[in-house]
Structure 1
């Protein structure tokens, strides 16, 4: 938990201009901010070396910026931290790093807004290492708390602390789901300086008494807009209420929607704002493309594009977890080296899949939006959107996985004819139209009419029509036919079960109004075929009054007479009920 293997890193240099003087807000408004070389570890040294070869133009276009831009040595970092930075080959910070590091060291709250791939992680890791290395932590009382929306991002932040703090005697711990809580409690019991956690597991452990936050003087809320999307804001508010009021809060987000602004106003105290590039802008190093194909043809088109394009490694994003599994089976069946990543997978499987993808054992990673934020895959050549995201901002975060550190990237999106409203939302957010180039063997289709809106509307129509057909089949006029026999049978008398000569009564005997004359005729017929039991029953029936005199079952019952013969059973009156009744009370 506390020990993590670092990712091999290679030298990278930034050619961005220096940010303006620290003010409120500090704004570095540069459309080329996405071209900066982020201070983030790269997974493959050979890929980093190759990228240095294909970037001579970038070095030639900004020679002045390289001479006049700030250096890490000018930001007030101590010698041990500078030694780690120099060993990694870094010299110039990115705009978000150059703006945030001095503000954090000065003790200000910071609101940082920068798109993915600009080095936000190092912008708070480096100054926090500088602040924390002067003292030690107590048991179960971390001095710094960093909140991340996903386990993958938490692991990546821990790797940054490992890399940049390797010459410092500081400890950090991961508090994430999918791991043994017992082991996490043991690590916290020994004392950690930095606690990197996801909100759910943090609250769970706190409520179990395994954690105290009274000494956490530094709070980092990373990827705040993703926290909002994932519904973690109530947990964040609860966690903030557990921290001391005199704390330093660092708030980072890729976008600044009105909801995020409200959260920042609630959590921060007179913050210094650092904004890099236009919100939700796409990196200029990414070549975008859009292909409109029928929904059922998406998998075939994706396989063709994967074979046609010079794909070194690629991430394929799906909107639904079940689509991730289905697409993975399709790619594996057709010979592609692919893996899956989504929230339902065990944590050990997710970590192993990421490591295999970083190591080059897997060429394609099919995933949901859980991997759209912050996961730094060095040298990622392509991003494919198997589905256009429902949230337009997720499009920027998805394709931001490629085109990093000045490298050229490619982002190809597949859309069904019913996804035009999603494409329009993306183009409205980014401020430009996504090109629709032609690819060999791929026949694009036209957008569906505007009235046929909705995601995958054609399939919804099919399901709806199928339900209508089943409903029409169910609504056939069968109910009256079933009810008719019941209504006809309602006024009938119960079928009589008597001696063998009564087993087939005629229908005309069913009505109560035909009791008198027909019963007399029936008794006369029975008398012609004398039997011992007939004589006994005949005598009994002769003792009972006719039905028309007794009245129907719905008429009011007469006054009770203990000597009167029992009624209500018709001709099926049991023999024991015909016995004389014993007198009551003193009459006995």
Structure 2
């Protein structure tokens, strides 16, 4: 089957041939005729199967007939991320070059003025992220009453990012009589509920089992200690015939640190994550696509939908927390019939996460034996903690004298009777414990002299004969300013300060 068999226009076929394609993928072959027939559609397919072209191509032919109006887009495509929205825009420009169609891109991170200007001039295709679209709608800059075609792309990703309430609001603002296309890699219950609510008698297309990884991708898991990850990654990048690679980490800070480490070791790498502004992210993607860098460190913001040709390897530097993210990450390689390789680093703490991935995909990911592959010994998942510096290290248990060779505990002198450390005889010259008086022959504690009757150590006088100290709280108070101190009186007489109310002055 060729694209000409799908009922597309000659102008569109010329653009497809110019892009170098001649045979549709299974999802395209099933979806394009249904879209041209104006049917609602639910398409479930794994990433990298050509989902974008399966709605872009028929939309171009549908929109070729009609008139655009200011502030009222004729069709709307919702994407979860800015990168996916920009990628769909590129597809429209490439395939629609022989048609008189105008397009607007509504994404965050860029100036709103140019976007509003494009809307005022009228657009045939509006490609937007839900957040920016809702912002412009609430400002009264856009009307959705003239939108006859809605595409919800990467619906499961929309769910993960919390966009489902926004999508429901947007759907409620669109005309009731419209065509709706929903594309997703998986179909969790919330997405099924959304489809039941907003799609009318949709045709279901499923070209592969949900959450099944691409069979063109050779998958491996690498058992590695968490402290050895960077070293193992550098080894694989040097030895596994890597032409271009995408490396995914769970945290943005890990992405930044990993990119810096690779640059320090001489690799041509870049980074893309959510903390970067839109212009910087686009610049890094352009470098990767142009070949100025061949390694791209990513967070999951780039895991879904990005179509970069020729990615030979995907490395999961961190095992993904969500099993669905695994399928989307490794889907960056092995696209459009090409083959690819995917390595997932599994630290001891990741064992449960990788089990969840294997349960979702229905396959046991083989362990990559680095030693057998000739790239060094495989790191052990139970690596011992690094030894402390030599000056602090205690002798290992096996280095100590055997317990049988040590002096019996009974032969050691009691702690109270030992001489000071400096005056003690060497351990070898001390008397054995057996020659000391046995504990049983000592006088019982009850028959010993009371502590008060024993001779004092320094021959001090008994405690009773010492002059008692004056307690701190009974010391005579110093006279305050303006008071006169009394001379000490005879015993039994008042010797404290004279109360002020008596008015007696000292003679």
Q: Is TM > 0.5 for Structure 1 vs Structure 2?
A: yes
Question: Partner of 2:128 in structure 1?
Answer: 197
- Counterpart selection for 2:379 from 429, 444, 447: 444
Question: Partner of 1:499 in structure 2?
Answer: 481
- Counterpart selection for 2:86 from 148, 155, 173: 155
Q: Point out the more displaced range, 86-95 or 377-386.
A: 86-95
What are the within-5 Å matches in structure 2 for residues 121-140 of structure 1? Answer: 121-140=52-71
Q: Distance in 1 between matches of 2:349 and 2:362?
A: 21
Contact 2:225–2:382 (CA under 8 A) maintained in structure 1: no
SS across alignment from 2:20: coil
Say yes or no: does 1:102 pair with 2:84.
Answer: no
Question: Partner of 2:502 in structure 1?
Answer: 542
TM-score (norm 2): 0.76
What are the within-5 Å matches in structure 2 for residues 261-272 of structure 1? Answer: 261-272=192-203
- Segments of 5+ residues of structure 1 without an aligned counterpart are 1-68, 449-457, 459-490, 507-516, 527-537, 545-588
| 1:88, distance to aligned residue in structure 2 (A) | 2.6
Q: Distance in 2 between matches of 1:343 and 1:446?
A: 31
- Counterpart selection for 1:308 from 239, 253, 278: 239
| 1:157, distance to aligned residue in structure 2 (A) | 0.4
Say yes or no: does 1:521 pair with 2:495.
Answer: yes
Normalized per residue, which structure has more helix?
1
Question: Partner of 2:461 in structure 1?
Answer: none
Say yes or no: does 1:333 pair with 2:293.
Answer: no
- Counterpart selection for 2:163 from 232, 247, 267: 232
Cα separation, partners in 2 of 1:503 and 1:151, compared to 1, 3 Å: farther
- Counterpart selection for 2:327 from 396, 401, 410: 396
Contact 1:141–1:211 (CA under 8 A) maintained in structure 2: yes
Q: Distance in 1 between matches of 2:333 and 2:67?
A: 39
Can you list the C-alpha shifts for 1:482-509, whole angstroms capped at 9, x where unaligned?
A: xxxxxxxxx99xx9982276799x9xxx
Question: Partner of 2:363 in structure 1?
Answer: 432
Aligned length: 407
Q: Distance in 1 between matches of 2:140 and 2:485?
A: 81
Can you list the C-alpha shifts for 1:180-211, whole angstroms capped at 9, x where unaligned?
A: 00111111111111000000000011111111
Q: Distance in 2 between matches of 1:90 and 1:298?
A: 39
- Counterpart selection for 1:376 from 289, 302, 307: 307
TM-score (norm 1): 0.66
Say yes or no: does 1:171 pair with 2:98.
Answer: no
Can you list the C-alpha shifts for 1:423-476, whole angstroms capped at 9, x where unaligned?
A: 11111111111111221224332479xxxxxxxxx9xxxxxxxxxxxxxxxxxx
Contact 1:111–1:274 (CA under 8 A) maintained in structure 2: yes
Q: Distance in 2 between matches of 1:502 and 1:396?
A: 94
SS across alignment from 2:275: coil
Cα separation, partners in 2 of 1:518 and 1:344, compared to 1, 3 Å: farther
SS across alignment from 1:522: coil
Cα separation, partners in 2 of 1:434 and 1:140, compared to 1, 3 Å: same
SS across alignment from 1:418: helix
| 1:267, distance to aligned residue in structure 2 (A) | 1.8
- Segments of 5+ residues of structure 2 without an aligned counterpart are 386-472
Q: Distance in 1 between matches of 2:204 and 2:213?
A: 21
- Counterpart selection for 2:212 from 281, 304, 307: 281
Contact 1:99–1:274 (CA under 8 A) maintained in structure 2: yes
Cα separation, partners in 2 of 1:271 and 1:447, compared to 1, 3 Å: farther
Q: Distance in 1 between matches of 2:335 and 2:303?
A: 14
Q: Point out the more displaced range, 71-80 or 172-181.
A: 71-80
Question: Partner of 2:290 in structure 1?
Answer: 359
Contact 2:225–2:381 (CA under 8 A) maintained in structure 1: no
Q: Distance in 1 between matches of 2:485 and 2:22?
A: 108
Q: Distance in 1 between matches of 2:484 and 2:358?
A: 88
Q: Distance in 2 between matches of 1:123 and 1:255?
A: 17
Q: Distance in 2 between matches of 1:376 and 1:447?
A: 38
Q: Distance in 1 between matches of 2:25 and 2:293?
A: 31
Say yes or no: does 1:408 pair with 2:339.
Answer: yes
Question: Partner of 2:146 in structure 1?
Answer: 215
SS across alignment from 2:204: strand
What is the alpha-carbon root mean square deviation over aligned residues?
A: 2.4
After superposing on structure 2, the runs of 4+ consecutive aligned residues of structure 1 that deviate more than 4 Å are 500-504, 517-520
SS across alignment from 1:315: strand
